[in-house]
Amino acid sequence: MTEEELLNNLREIEGTLRSNPVQTLIKRESDETRARFVSILNNLSVAINRLGNDQLRALAGKLSELDGQLTNGIEATRAVISRMNSAIEIVNTVSSVLSTVSLAVGLFI
């Protein structure tokens, strides 16, 4: 996955997570799940900001190493969001992708 593809994919996921259908689903969840979702969404925004600041140029090798994990995680995230079955499943899947991204950009999640 290229730097631009990663950034575009993460921006797309962030937009979807901020959409009315996902927000409506999250609002029906427990305080704990809602708080975790907000935290994950904030971490995603931080990752996008860091990636958007040209930090990816120095991370191309690391992204290459993580290509499979990132691609699989983003595809899984899209599938989970499209099913809209479980807010916890969405949170867990996005969290997994962010954990992989953190290996490349140095986030502490």
pLDDT level of residue 57 (50, 70, 90 thresholds): low
Q: What is the pLDDT of residues 26-48, one digit of tens each?
A: 999 999 999 999 999 999 999 89
Secondary structure of the chain in HEC code, one letter for each residue:
CCHHHHHHHHHHHHHHHCCHHHHHHHHCCCHHHHHHHHHHHHHHHHHHHHHHCCHHHHHHHHHHHCHHHHHHHHHHHHHHHHHCCCHHHHHHHHHHHHHHHHHHHCCCC
For 73, phi then psi, to 5°, come to -65, -40
pLDDT level of residue 104 (50, 70, 90 thresholds): confident
Residue 19 is encoded by which pair of tokens? 């959409």
Query: What is the mean pLDDT of the segment spanning 50-56?
Result: 72
The alpha-carbon radius of gyration of the chain (Å, integer) is: 13
Mean pLDDT of the chain: 86
In the block, residue with structure tokens 């290996």: 103
CA–CA dist 9, 75 (Å, integer): 10
pLDDT at residue 6, rounded to an integer: 87
